[in-house]
Amino acid sequence: MPKAQAPTLSISIIIPAYNEAENLEPLQQKLESVLSELPARWEIIFIDDGSSDDTWGKIESLNQINPRIKGIRLSRNFGHQYALFAGLQRATGDAVISMDADLQHPPALLPELFQQWQSGHKVVNTVRLDPDDFSAFKRYTSRLYYRLFSFLSGVPLEPGMADFRLLDRQVVNDILKMREEGLFLRGIVQWVGYKSSKISFQSERRWHGVTKYTPRKMLQFAWHGLSSFSLVPLRIGVLIGFITSGLSFLGILYAIYSKLIIGQAVPGWASSIAIISFLFGVLFILLGVLGEYIGRILIEVRGRPRFLISEHLGLNKSSSPPTSSTGYSTRQPGGMKQRTER
Ligand code: UDP
Ligand code: MG
C-alpha cells in the first residue's frame, strides 16, 4: 500500500494476562519500540483475566503514562479464550493482533505480520517452533492433538499454531458473531477461511512466572476444541456397535454349528465374561461422551453470559463494534459499569 495512506491505518494489540504483573512492563516497552516504527496508529489492550496479583494495578499505571495502553478487567478468571474474545470485542483497529503476555510471542515479529496484512492477507497466523524447554511430553501430545483435531473435524490445524496472529477487521467482525460456548479460537479462525498466510517463529522462554495453563485447563481446552468442531466421538459408538454385533453374529453361527454338526456345546465361561465386561466398559465410555455433549447443549441453552467485565480503562462504550451490541451494561451503585456479553 502506498505510504501516503499509511497513517490512516490503525491496529489493536490484545493481550490476555492472568497473573502476569511482572511481564507487562517489559512487554509494553518492547511493543512500543516496535509499534512506533509502523506506519499506523495503535492501541494496546490488556485483558486482566481475574488475576490475583497486581496485574490490574500495572495496567492502570501503564495507562496513566500512555493512554494508548488500555485495559479490560474480567470479574474473575474466565480463561484465555474468553479473555481474547473480550479483547476482540473492544478493539477498534483495522487489524487486531493477539499475543501472550509472557513475551513468548516476540514483538519483533509484528512488522512482518503487518507487512503480510498489507499485502492482502486477512489472516496472518504464526506457527511456533517448539522451544528447548518444552517437555517431550508436551511436544508429542500437542502434535498428536492437532493431527487428531484436523482428522476428526476436517478443519486443518497445524501443530504449533499459536494464539499469536493478525486478523483483519472483516474477520474480527465475523468472529464476533459467534455465540458458542467453549470457544476454541484456533479452530474458529481456520473455519472462517479468507486469504491467509503464516509465519514461523522461534518461541522464547517465558519471561517471568510459570505457565498459567494447568493440566486441567489444557484438557478442558482440548476437549472443548474437539467437541465444538466434530461429532465423530459420538459416531464412534455406531462403528463399535456394528463391529461387535458382526462378530457376535459369527460367534452365534459357530456355536450353532458346533452344537448341531459336531455335537459339542462351546465351552468358555471365562472368555464370555471377559467379552461382556469389555463391552460394558466401552458402553460406559460412550455414555460418558454422550453426557458431555448433552452437558454442552445444556450450557448453550441456558444462555448465560460467557464472561463478565467488571471495569475497563481507556475504552468507552462507543469503541465496542456493532456486532457485540447484544451485551448489556448496568450501572453499579459505585458508578462502575458492568457489562455482560453473549
Ligand atoms: N491466560 C489467561 N487466562 C488463563 C490462562 C492463561 O488469560 O486462565 C493468558 C496468560 O496470561 C498468557 C496466555 O494466556 O498471556 C498464555 O498462557 P501461558 O503462557 O500460561 O500458556 P503457555 O504459553 O504455557 O501454553
Ligand atoms: Mg506462555
Q: Could you report the per-residue pLDDT of 19-73, keeping only the tens digit for each?
A: 999 999 999 999 999 998 899 999 999 999 999 999 999 999 999 999 999 999 9
- Residue 19: partners with Cβ closer than 8 Å, 6 or more residues away: 51, 52, 53, 55, 209, 212
Rounded to whole angstroms, the Cα distance separating 207 from 26 reads 9
* Surrounding residues of ion ligand 2, Cβ less than 5 A: 100, 102, 104
What region does 314 belong to: left with phi over 0, alpha with psi -120 to 50, or beta? Answer: left
Under 8 Å between Cβ of 162 and 149:
no
Which H or E run contains 204? none
The cell numbers describing 23, all together, are: 511481564
Q: What pTM was estimated for this model as a whole?
A: 0.75
- Ligand 1 atom with minimal separation from the 15 CA: 15
Rounded to whole angstroms, the Cα distance separating 275 from 251 reads 12
- Ligand 1 atom with minimal separation from the 218 CA: 25
What are the pLDDT digits (tens) for 18-34? 999 999 999 999 999 99
| Phi, psi dihedrals of residue 74, rounded to the nearest 5° | -80, 150
What are the pLDDT digits (tens) for 115-174? 999 999 999 999 888 766 667 777 788 888 888 888 888 888 888 788 899 999 999 999
Nearest CA to ligand 1 atom 1: 80
Torsion of CA 141, 145, 151, 152, to 10 degrees: 130
Q: Which residues' Cβ are closer than 6 Å to ligand 1?
A: 16-18, 20, 49, 77, 79-80, 83, 100-102, 104, 211-213
DSSP string, 42-80: EEEEEEE-S-SSSHHHHHHHHHHH-TTEEEEEESS---H
